[in-house]
Homo-oligomer: A and B are copies of this chain.
Amino acid sequence: MTTNRMEAFSDGVIAIIITIMVLELKVPHEATVSALRPVAPVFLSYLLSFVFLGIYWSNHHHMLQVCEHVDGRVLWANLHLLFWLSLTPFVTAWLGENNFTALPAALYGLVLLFAAIAYYILARALVRLHGSDSLIAIALGKDFKGKISIVIYLLAIPLSFIRSWLACALYVMVAVMWLIPDRRIEKTIVH
């Protein structure tokens, strides 16, 4: 089985998730600055989730480039990842509409956590299929960023109930960390 159709399907799902989130930006009825104000926090949460989904798409793209084939296990590991990502619009809207308060911030982190775990499982399924001396295994290496992200989410979720803005700051920190492009895979291809 080639990776083509799984890539196309994932692209489709991520493209739709990233785009329907904007439907949660409720269009105000009046043409005033004050009518626009409640949209501001939803816009910020949208921006954060857009970046997270962009990171997932970009890393997914990189990872599958060094893969040659997929099997049933990989297909379902991928669907599992897409499931958690598909919950992003819901938690994003809840977070934005409630001004980044405790419970929505914790739930947002929980979805990020499960997505990160799902990505980890997908990566392991790909390594298992291609062998431990394959390009994908070398490219992923120790997957430091993946593991540290999970640790930060585990810290941020309980922190949400004490200082919810601090939890959100940690989410931003993870996003920034990932925005630095994943040179590991690009390097592996070059050598």
Secondary structure dominating the interface of A: helix
Docked-complex contact A31 and B101, CB < 8 angstroms: yes
Known pairs A27-B93, A76-B54; A15 contacts B20 (CB<8 A): no
Binary CB contact string for chain A from 81 to 116 against chain B (1 if under 8 A, 0 otherwise): 011001101100110011001111001000000000
Check if A173 is an interface residue, CB within 8 A of chain B. no
Q: Smallest CB-CB separation from A21: which chain B residue?
A: B86
Known pairs A103-B33, A181-B72; A19 contacts B16 (CB<8 A): yes
Number of interface residues of A (CB under 8 A): 60
- Give the 6 A-B CB pairs with smallest separation, nearest first: A12-B15, A72-B181, A31-B98, A16-B19, A27-B93, A54-B79
Once the chains are docked, how many angstroms separate the CA of A90 from the CA of B39? 11
